[in-house]
Amino acid sequence: MHKSILIISFLLIPYFGFSQSENYSTAIESFKKEYNVENFSNIFDSFSPEMKDALPLEKSKQFFNGLKTQAGKIKQYDFEGFSQGTYAEYKTKFEKMTFSVNMSVDDNGKINGLFIKPFEKSTENVDIINDLNPYPKEISEIIFSKTKDFPNETQLSIAIIKNGKRHITELRKPKTP
């Protein structure tokens, strides 16, 4: 039974992850494009209604103008991972400095959370094998054998249901130095 649940989890994770990551990819790419050409109104238009209430148009423009003056244009961004479950963190290199752009996107692809702060390198060193220790050896070996060849920085969530109780583990294969 454990094996079939595990296989179903592996099949469903890419499907759900793809649709969510596509929304995030579209949102961050659009944000970069509009920010670099100073179309701050278009960024505001990509906000959810709640976000528009929290950061009205004029305050949004002031914030983005100040950021542009301080940091310059966005040169590139790299996905770092998800934090707090819904915020995608992007290490974002601007012309003058590097920031962490944390963005949350709703089901309609609208930005419903945006937090920009100086980038701090995560000291987290995740080891896939150690993360599997709570599982029985048979399950750990199956998970390891199926994931060991994934590319660096792959993220994976695994759900195992036993006796009606759910155990979820999130794994992240680290960047090789």
Residue 147 domain flag:
yes
Residue 5 domain flag:
no
Which run of H or of E encompasses 83?
strand 74-83
User: Distance between the two ends of the chain, CA-based, in angstroms?
Assistant: 38
> pLDDT higher for 125 or 77?
77
Q: Find which of 129-133, 159-163, 173-177 is predicted with most confidence, using mean pLDDT.
A: 159-163
Residue 40 domain flag:
yes
> At which of 78, 101, 118 does a domain end?
118
Same domain, 114 and 137: no
Residue 38 has pLDDT above 90, yes or no: yes
Residue 2 domain flag:
no
Residue 81 has pLDDT above 60, yes or no: yes
Number of domains in the chain: 2
Buried b or exposed e, range 135-170, using 16+ CB within 10 angstroms: beeebbebbeeebeeeeeeebbebebeeeeeeeeee
The pLDDT of 86-101, averaged and rounded, is 91
Residue 162 belongs to domain spanning: 125-172
Residue 65 has pLDDT above 90, yes or no: yes
> At which of 118, 147, 162 does a domain end?
118
Q: How far apart are CA 70 and CA 4, in angstroms?
A: 53
Helix residue ranges, H only, the chain: 2-36, 40-45, 49-54, 57-71, 128-131, 137-147
Same domain, 27 and 57: yes
Residues 137/149, Cβ–Cβ less than 8 Å: no
Residue 8 domain flag:
no
